[in-house]
Amino acid sequence: MNWRDFRIWGLAPAWVIMALTLVLPIGIVVLVSLSIRGAYGGFDWGLSFDSYAKILFEEDWDGNLAFTPQYLAIIGRTLWLAGLTTLICAALALPAAYVIAQAPARWKAVLVYLVTLPFWVSMIVRVYAWIIILGNDGVIEKTLRGLGLVADMDSLLFTNGAMLTGLVYSYIPLMILPVFASIEKLDPALIEASHDLYGSRWVTARRVILPLTLPGLMAGAVLVFVPCLGAVLEPILLGGGKVMLMGNLIQTQFGGGRNWPFGAAIAVTLMGLVMIFLMLNALRARREVSHA
Amino acid sequence: MRDVRRYPGARIFTALFFLWLYLPILVVIAYSFNENRLASVWTGFSLRWYESALHNRALLDAVQISLTVAGIATAIATTVALMAALVLVRGRDVRLRRLSETVVNLPLLLPEIVLAVAVLILFSQIGLQNGLLKLVIAHSAFCIPFAFLPIRARLQGMEPDFEEAAQDLYASPWVTFRRVTLPLIAPGVFAGAMLAFVISMDDFITSNLLNSGGSTTLPVYIFGLIKQGTTPELNAISTLIVLGSLILATTALVLTFRNPNRA
C-alpha cells in the first residue's frame, strides 16, 4: 500500500470522524442500554435487560413485573404521528409540485426558490411561529372571536393536532423537492396519451402520474419519516411536554440525568425502528428495479 | 381547447399552500413591531424591541458562540467532504466505494436525537469538559453529508475532460486540482459549505443536549426564551434571524446558479 495514495488518505478523515463520533459512540449507547442505573444518576457497567423490560413492564411493590402500556403508547403515538405527517406531506406536495412543474420556466425557478426558502429559516423560529398562531389568545383564537364565531375556546396548543401541524410545516420542503424532481422527468406525452385513450383527469392522475412519481414520493417519505420519528422540538413546544414522543422521552432521560440506561434503551429502540423502515424501503426499491 | 394537463383547483390549492407556508413567518414579523409589552395585545407600531434585542448581552453571546461553532464546523466538514467526494467520484478502483459512501452519509440515516445521545455519552466517558470543543466536534460530524452531497453532484455533472487535458500537459495532481478542478466545482463547494453552515447554525437537538454554561448556542438560547413565554423581544429576535437566513439563502442560490460560462 502506498501511503501517498490519495484514494486512501482522501477518505481517511471521513472514516476517522464517523468512526469516532458515530460508530463507536453508538456502540457505547448499546452498552449503556444494557448497563445498570447508577445510584446517583449515570450508570454502572453491567449486563442487564432491565431497561428494555422497563419499556413493557413496571415493577410493583412486591417486585413483581406488571405489564404497563405507558411507553408502548408513546412508541405507538410516535410511529402514528410520523406516518400521518408523511402522508399529509405527500398529499400536499403532489399537487403543489405538479403545478410548479407546469409553470413557465421563468416562474418555475422562483416557485422552487419560494418552496425552499422557509426551510432555511431557523427550525426553532418556525415552530415558535405556531405557538403565536395556535396559543392562548393567539392569532386563530382572536380571529374566530373577532368574527363572533366563538366566545371562548380551549387552547389549540399542546394537542396532537398542534404537533402534527408543526411536523408537517417543518418537513414539507423535504417532500416537495424530490416529488418535484420526479414530476419534472415525467413525459407530458404520457398524460396526453392517457387522455387520448379516454382516461379522465382523475384516472390519469391515479394510473399515470402517481405511479410515475412514486420514486420521488418514496424518497421524500424517507426524508420526512426518519426525522419525524426523532422529533424533539415539536413535542416539547407544541405538545407542551404533556404528549410525549420518543424524541423528548429520550431527551428527558438524559437532560436531567434521570435514567441513562433507560434513555439509551429507548434510543436503541428508535434506531431499530428506523433501520427496519430503511431496510423495507431498500427491499421495495430493489423489487421495483427487478420488475422494471 | 382545454389543456388536459391542467387540474381544476390545483392552482388555487397551490396558492393557498404558499400562503400557509409563509403566513407563520409573516405573523412573527408583524408581531415584532408591536409596542406593547404583552405580545398578544397590539397597541401600536414600535422598533423598541429591536433596540432591546440588540443590547441583550446574553443574546449577543449566543450569536457569537453559534457563529464560532458553525464557522469552524463548516471549514472542517467541507474540507473532509471535498476530499471524500474527489476520491469517490474521480478515483479509479476505489476499495469499499459503496461502504465509504454510506459512511460519509451516516448522519442522515439516523434521527439526530440518537446521535446527540451517543456523543453526549462519549464525551462524558472520556471526560471532555470544554463545551465549545464538544459542539465543534459534534457539529463537524453531522455537517459532513450536507457538505458532501452538493459537491458530489457538481463533480458527477462534470466531464473529466479538462482534468485529463491538464494531466496530459504534465500538470501534477495538485496543480490539476488547484487550477482546474477546484475552480470548476467551486459553486458546488460553496453550496455545500453554505448548507453545512446553516445546518450547524440551526441545530437544536445536539446543542441542547450538550449545553453547558458558556456554550449556549442561539437556538438553545431562544428555546429558553420560548419556555418563559412569548414576548415582543423574542419576536424581534426571531425576525432578525429570519432576515439573516433569507440573506444567506438568497446569496447561496444566486452564487450557485450563476451562469457558469461567465464565471
Contacts of B240 (CB under 8 A, 6+ apart): B50, B53
Q: Which residues pair with A66 in a beta bridge?
A: A58
Out of B118, B234, B245, the one facing A26 most closely (by C-beta) is B118
Single-letter code of the amino acid located at B71? G
Domain assignments of chain B as residue spans, ordered by start: 57-257
Out of B5, B91, B140, the one facing A17 most closely (by C-beta) is B140
Q: Output the DSSP codes for A217-286.
A: HHHHHHHHHHHHHT--HHHHHTSTTTS--HHHHHHHHHHTT--HHHHHHHHHHHHHHHHHHHHHHHHHHH
- B74, pLDDT greater than 80: yes
CB contact under 8 A, B209 and A114: no
- Spans of chain A, pLDDT less than 70: 1-4, 39-41, 256-257, 291-292
**pLDDT for the residue numbered B263:** 41
CA–CA dist B29, B24 (Å, integer): 9
**pLDDT for the residue numbered B221:** 94
**pLDDT for the residue numbered B64:** 95
Q: Does A264 touch chain B (CB under 8 A)?
A: yes
Instruction: Please name the fold of domain B57-257.
Output: MetI-like fold (1.10.3720)
Q: What does the pLDDT look like over B97-110, one tens digit per residue?
A: 899 999 999 998 89
Residue given cell 409589552 in the structure block: B37
Q: Does A28 touch chain B (CB under 8 A)?
A: yes
How many angstroms separate the CA of residue A50 from the nearest CA in chain B? 19
Coil, strand or helix at A287: helix
Which residues of chain A make contact with B226, given a CB cutoff of 8 A? 124, 128, 131, 237
- B255, pLDDT greater than 90: no
CA–CA dist A292, A8 (Å, integer): 37
The helix or strand, by DSSP H or E, that contains position A32, with its residue range, turns out to be helix A24-33
C-alpha cell at A212: 410515475
- Residue B72 φ/ψ, nearest 5 degrees: -65, -45
- Report the pLDDT averaged over residues B144-164: 90
% pLDDT > 70, chain B: 95
B140 contacts B99 by C-beta, under 8 angstroms:
no
**pLDDT for the residue numbered A92:** 95
- Report the pLDDT averaged over residues B190-211: 92
**pLDDT for the residue numbered A41:** 66
C-alpha cell at A250: 429520550
**pLDDT for the residue numbered B137:** 96
Beta strands in A25-139 (DSSP E): 36-37, 43-44, 57-59, 65-67
Residue with more model confidence, B230 or A225: A225
- B262, pLDDT greater than 60: no
**pLDDT for the residue numbered B261:** 46
- Alpha-carbon B125 to chain mean position: 29
B149 contacts B229 by C-beta, under 8 angstroms:
no
Out of B14, B112, B249, the one facing A117 most closely (by C-beta) is B249
Q: Which residues pair with A39 in a beta bridge?
A: A41
Give me the total of CB pairs closer than 8 Å, taking one residue from chain A and one from chain B. 243
CB contact under 8 A, A250 and B113: yes
Superfamily of domain A76-291: MetI-like (1.10.3720.10)
DSSP character at residue A36: E
Coil, strand or helix at A58: strand
**pLDDT for the residue numbered B87:** 93
CB contact under 8 A, A28 and B125: yes
From the list B117, B133, B158, the residue with the least C-alpha distance to B76 is B133
C-alpha cell at B227: 419556555
C-alpha cell at B85: 467526494
